[in-house]
Amino acid sequence: MSDRLTHILLIDDDSIFRLGLRTALEAFPDLQIVAEADTGVTALNILSESENAIDLVILELSIGRNPNQSGLTLCQRLKTNYPYLPILLLTAESEPSLLMAAKAFGVEGYCAKGCEIAAIVQAIRQLMRGESYWPSDLPVLITPVRPPSWHHKMRSQGLRQIEDTLAQVTQSLQNPKLSTLDWLFWSGRRRELLAARWVVNQLLPTDVIVVEHGLSDEEQNAPSRLPSNRVTRQLPAASMANLPLSQIAQPSTPFEVTLAKLQSSLSNLSGVVLEIDILQAEKKRDLLYIVLQKFEEILAELRFSQVTLEQLPQKRSQILQDLWQLSITEFFGKYYTLPVGNDEFEVVKVMLGDTVIVQDAILDKIPLVVELLAHQLFQTPLMIDNVSYPAQTPEALARIEMIIQNLMIQVANAVIQPLLNEFADIETIKQSFYDRSLISTREITRFRNNLSWRYRRFQLLLEPRAIFESRYDLFVLSDTGIKQTSIYAPRRQELEQLRGIAFAVTLAYETRDAIAPRLRGAISWVGQGVVYVLTQVLGKSIGLVVRGVIQGIGSSLQDTRFGKNSERDK
């Protein structure tokens, strides 16, 4: 028995089982359940408030309605946020693929519900010694490759350098005597390091996972002391044939494809002026990274909060507003203060004051958000050109990729809009964020005027036309830059709600469509008549006249010639 007291967080939605396990562990003085949770959200809140007070987590994998979306997702989230916090699965779930997936995420131990309390205590103590506890009678276990692959070495070295530099930058930011320019520099450096760390975690696998058959009992039971913050990313081709379908690496997700495209050029090739066009290239890329990252975090929170499919339409506006606010705070820094004259302004606080304007002008106009959330959270099929495509089909993945990229670009525009409204011509902002070609007061004014004209034109002409033509215009990423594309979408309800000038525009298009073919037909008929008159009537008449004149001239010439010959004969 260890002298050190082990503080345990028990996560299980069965209150009777929690009470029974707490009572059973009271017989062991070194083990104490100090917190309980019946949902993933509650567990994460407990850990965020008392991370250092929890030594080990006991988790029921089948917590919630769907173990694949709740228990496994919670495992992944815990190992991402708390990589060195041991997790023991004490679960009634016995599906090998789910258990192997949990082990691949980094879970250190597993006990089946119904086992002896002595086995549970042994597993807890073994995990607290830095060992793993996985019974040898499981069908096939996922075992990390030994020695670590070159991916793992490269990733570890890179992350170590990033963490060391990040610690130095954070220490510099804590200096109360920093000037504003120095604070802006170090804040920007910190955001770049955070983005770099996220990119490394997304692009480089944390380890290569294989399925090893024919291991000896000693090898299978050998404790693993490697770091447990592992997420399955790649599988060697030779091992794929031996894996169940759920363990085979699937094609790149829309998020991964979008992340890869962010490495390419972000030039605006759409012909439509965008707020993010004013940013430096790296700042633009940084902002888009942040929006994408925050959207993934919001999706994870929605999964843990067990939002239902029916609640998504009501929560749409709040979700987009939260995404916008989180992106602003991360991009500019929560405590970013800007001196203007004799006053100092908290930039994020001032920009968040434009919530209503941004919500009405940009966020509420972003299309297909509910469809995106439903597909990502509940794997609902997508309607594409009136055809239903199930989740994970190539057509559905391609459409989701376009919707995600448009959402990312539009939210990034929403982040920059209040900056242009409130601090457009502040020298510090211009030097820190703006593209050099748009840094003069004249160019900034011209840029803002172009944006203003774009919104008026969109509201009065382009949006009514798109509604009338049953389509959405989306901004997407390509290998060469940002482009605009159109997709079909039924918008009958929006069409019936149009009023004023927007409604008049649709009437004008309808009138043109109704009159234009008939007008073209009438003009064509008149044209044919004019051609007939000119060719058949006037043309022939003129032809006859000209022919008569020519014949008359010819006769006169003959008479003159014959007359002269007659006189000569005399």
Q: Are residues 135 and 263 in the same domain?
A: no
Higher pLDDT pick, 530 / 461? 461
549 part of a folded domain: no
488 part of a folded domain: yes
Higher pLDDT pick, 464 / 95? 464
Higher pLDDT pick, 2 / 237? 2
Domains in the chain, number: 2
Q: Are residues 137 and 273 in the same domain?
A: no
Q: Which of 159-163, 224-228, 399-403 has the lowest mean pLDDT?
A: 224-228
Task: Give pLDDT tens digits for 500-529.
Answer: 877 787 777 767 767 767 666 777 777 777
Q: Are residues 319 and 463 in the same domain?
A: yes
Q: Are residues 132 and 268 in the same domain?
A: no
536 part of a folded domain: no
479 part of a folded domain: yes
Q: Which of 142-146, 155-159, 377-381 has the lowest mean pLDDT?
A: 142-146
Q: Are residues 125 and 264 in the same domain?
A: no
Q: Is residue 76 scored above 70 in pLDDT?
A: yes
- CATH number for the domain spanning 43: value is 3.40.50.2300
Task: Give pLDDT tens digits for 339-366.
Answer: 777 778 888 888 999 899 999 999 999 9
Confidence of residue 151 (pLDDT cuts 50, 70, 90): low
CB 198 within 8 A of CB 293: yes
Instruction: Residue 93: give the domain boundaries.
Output: 6-141
pLDDT (mean) for 433-457: 89
179 part of a folded domain: no
234 part of a folded domain: no
Q: How many CB atoms lie within 10 A of CB 346?
A: 14
For 225, 247, 327, 559, the CA distances from 314, given in Å and listed in that order, are 47, 35, 22, 103
Confidence of residue 207 (pLDDT cuts 50, 70, 90): very low
The listed range with the strongest mean pLDDT (31-45, 99-113, 407-421) is: 407-421
Q: Are residues 283 and 412 in the same domain?
A: yes
Instruction: Of 209, 202, 188, give the one whose Cα is nearest residue 158.
Output: 202
Instruction: Indicate the Cα dihedral angle 552, 553, 556, 557, nearest 10°.
Output: -150
Of 123, 141, 159, which residue is a domain's last? 141
Burial 519-530 (b: 16+ CB within 10 A, else e): eeeeeeeeeeee
Q: Are residues 273 and 410 in the same domain?
A: yes
Q: Are residues 327 and 468 in the same domain?
A: yes
405 part of a folded domain: yes
Q: Are residues 492 and 354 in the same domain?
A: yes
Q: Which pair of structure tokens corresponds to residue 191?
A: 């955001």
Q: Is residue 59 scored above 70 in pLDDT?
A: yes
The listed range with the strongest mean pLDDT (110-114, 185-189, 456-460) is: 110-114
- 67 cis-preceded (ω within 30 degrees of 0): no
Residue whose token pair is 């997420």? 231
Instruction: Of 406, 328, 327, 396, give the one whose Cα is nearest residue 366.
Output: 406
Higher pLDDT pick, 217 / 24? 24
Q: Which of 6-10, 269-273, 410-414, 423-427 has the lowest mean pLDDT?
A: 423-427
Pairing verdict, β 382-384 and 387-389: antiparallel
CB 52 within 8 A of CB 27: no
Of 497, 530, 563, which residue is a domain's last? 497
Q: Are residues 135 and 271 in the same domain?
A: no
Calpha distance 123→198 (Å, rounded) = 33
Burial 213-232 (b: 16+ CB within 10 A, else e): eeeeeeeeeeeeeeebbbeb
Instruction: For residue 460, give the amino acid letter.
Output: L
Q: Are residues 418 and 270 in the same domain?
A: yes
The listed range with the strongest mean pLDDT (159-173, 215-229, 410-424) is: 410-424
Higher pLDDT pick, 154 / 112? 112
Instruction: Of 208, 268, 216, give the one whose Cα is nearest residue 239.
Output: 208
Instruction: Of 79, 211, 198, give the one whose Cα is nearest residue 143.
Output: 211
570 part of a folded domain: no
Of 451, 473, 497, which residue is a domain's last? 497
Residue 434 DSSP label: B
Q: What mean pLDDT is reported for the chain?
A: 77
What are the start-end ranges of the E strands in 356-408? 382-384, 387-389
Q: Which pair of structure tokens corresponds to residue 110?
A: 């597993």
Instruction: Of 221, 26, 231, give the one whose Cα is nearest residue 126.
Output: 221
